[in-house]
Amino acid sequence: MGVKVNPRGRTVPLAAHGFVGCAALAAAAVTLPALRPAAGTPWPTVLLLAALYPLCELPARCRLTGGAPGGRDGGPAPLGTGSFFPVLIAAALLLPPSAAALTALPGALLSRVDRPPVALRRVWRAAQLALTVAAAAAVGRTLRCPDSLGLGPQTPDFPYVLLPAGATALTFCLVLTALDGAVRAVAEQLPGRTAWHGLLGRALAPHAVHGLAGLMMAVLWRSAYGPVAALFALLPVYLSGWGFAQYHRERAAHQATIRALVQAVDIKDRYTRGHSERVGRASVLIARELGMDEPRLEVVRFAGILHDVGKLGVPTRVLRKDGPLTPEERRIIELHPEYGHEMVRGIGFLGEARTAILHHHERMDGSGYPYGLKGNEIPEYARVVAVADAFDAMTSTRSYSRARPVGTALEELERCAGSHFDPRMVAALVRALDRHGWQTGVTADEPAVPTPRGPTPAADPVPAADPVPAPLQEPA
């Protein structure tokens, strides 16, 4: 994680400049001893590792090779995401602290930076890595790690070498995440607990893998086969890391696609703002209670979020009409599940979510739309989303109606279980809310009107002739 632009002022705070400056001075103090003539720095090893680190980082950060995974906003990832650290950990195992710190500088200073301020980000990255590698090397040296690695024909001191190597990798992880959290706290003006939240947990597993690769690299480097053999230890780890980064790029692209569709619906239909995200969340609660595994939970979340995407095909004048809808306008809005299915039919990663988008207004007794399916003819995901959709419609405050209490909404769902909704899905939602609770929301930013209106543009309407309980006549 690099220095971010402060979201409040759009500029990096002065305190962040001071923090980065202090880190740079500390890094300079750490590396300078290696430059003294009498230091005995093993320059061939330092220079080889210093050149190898940017070479290993280059493909991961080059757009031509599929690198530079996207960040939260779909843009380039923050500096430091997806970095390849086995080379630096090997340097910490092989070299004195000041010499090991030098190996991080060329790669950090030459790395591409996608967001301003470029110079400040590069200086921070170089200082952060130099301090991290120096600290890890100091721990490794204290535990006599270089002696345990062997030299030439000597065999490494297994299993003892695992102890100092593990301590070195753990120190690398702890110092790096500590500095990440510190710069976030200063640059983004976050509370300490927020700035460090989750950083260590996400870093432990990748750094453990990088530490093992770094140990293998260091052992081979010190062996009779020399530095060339050490490269073979990096290859499988590098390829697996590259594949993992590609997976995250693809996942980020999926999220960006869904976010764009939801934002388009929210812009067009002001009455359902925030509704889609909450339906996705409620759908996951139901699906998890039913015992669905993680891949299916993700698909059902997509289904809940995108269930109303077909409203993009409904004329805006109908969606935003004040007052009751005419029968013809109702028929137009009832086409939105089919519009939505057509819109997402070519998005392969949605899988079964597409059937939920098409059938989330079907009813167990066959009185729903668009095809009048009944019972188990209705896809399971659609039955999940139907309950989540109706629940959020009843518990959300909109510009034309106040939210009903969660208990009242659940009673209404239970009353309609079997006729409109699958009783299993309703029971699952009741159990999930007993455990997790529910935070209701406002789905429109207009001021509330003083008198109630009839069916509104946001409605996912039910034909007026149907015997529907009053709360379910509200938009869903």
Kindly state the helix (H) or strand (E) to which residue 220 belongs, with its residue range.
Answer: helix 199-222
Report the pLDDT averaged over residues 166-189: 94
Answer for the pair 172, 88: CB distance below 8 angstroms, yes or no: yes
Q: Which pair of structure tokens corresponds to residue 175?
A: 């110092």
pLDDT: is 111 or 63 the higher one? 111
Q: How far apart are CA 58 and CA 84, in angstroms?
A: 10
Q: What is the pLDDT of residue 83?
A: 73
pTM higher than 0.75: no
Cis before 469 (ω within 30): no
Taking phi over 0 as left and psi of -120 to 50 as alpha, with beta for the rest, 235 belongs to alpha
Arithmetic mean of pLDDT over the chain: 82
Residue 116 predicted with pLDDT over 70: yes
Q: Which of 281, 274, 262, 305 is nearest to 438 (CA)?
A: 281
| Residues 6+ positions from 154 with CB-CB distance below 8 Å | none
Q: What is the pLDDT of residue 320?
A: 78
Phi/psi for 173 (5° steps) reads -65, -45
Residue 470 predicted with pLDDT over 80: no
Q: What is the pLDDT of residue 1?
A: 43
Q: What is the pLDDT of residue 41?
A: 94
Give residue-wise pLDDT tens across range 293-311: 888 998 999 999 999 999 9
Residue 373 predicted with pLDDT over 70: yes
Q: How far apart are CA 84 and CA 66, in angstroms?
A: 15
Percent residues over pLDDT 90 in the chain: 50
* Domain residue ranges in the chain: 14-248, 269-473
Residue 69 predicted with pLDDT over 50: no
pLDDT: is 284 or 438 the higher one? 284
Q: How sure is the predictor about 284, in pLDDT bands with cuts at 50, 70 and 90?
A: very high
CATH number of 269-473: 1.10.3210.10
Taking phi over 0 as left and psi of -120 to 50 as alpha, with beta for the rest, 397 belongs to beta
Residue 400 predicted with pLDDT over 60: no
Q: How sure is the predictor about 32, in pLDDT bands with cuts at 50, 70 and 90?
A: very high
Using the structure block, give the residue that is written with the tokens 């529907």.
468
Q: What is the pLDDT of residue 269?
A: 73
Report the pLDDT averaged over residues 303-328: 87
Answer for the pair 331, 314: CB distance below 8 angstroms, yes or no: no
Q: What is the pLDDT of residue 3?
A: 45
Phi/psi for 121 (5° steps) reads -65, -40
Using the structure block, give the residue that is written with the tokens 């103090």.
29
Report the pLDDT averaged over residues 212-218: 92
Q: How far apart are CA 284 and CA 296, in angstroms?
A: 9
Answer for the pair 86, 207: CB distance below 8 angstroms, yes or no: no
Q: How far apart are CA 131 and CA 23, in angstroms?
A: 8
Q: What is the pLDDT of residue 461?
A: 33
Q: What is the pLDDT of residue 7?
A: 42
pLDDT: is 67 or 116 the higher one? 116
pLDDT: is 230 or 93 the higher one? 93
Residue 189 predicted with pLDDT over 90: no
Report the pLDDT averaged over residues 314-339: 87
Report the pLDDT averaged over residues 238-264: 80
Q: Which pair of structure tokens corresponds to residue 31?
A: 């590396």
Q: How far apart are the first and last CA of the chain?
A: 40
Rounded to whole angstroms, what are the CA distances from 129 to 26, 108, 125, 212, 388?
Answer: 12, 8, 6, 19, 47
Q: How many CB atoms lie within 10 A of CB 286?
A: 28
Following CA atoms 255, 258, 261, 265 in sequence, which dihedral angle do they give, to the nearest 10 degrees? -110
Q: Which amino acid is at 39?
A: A
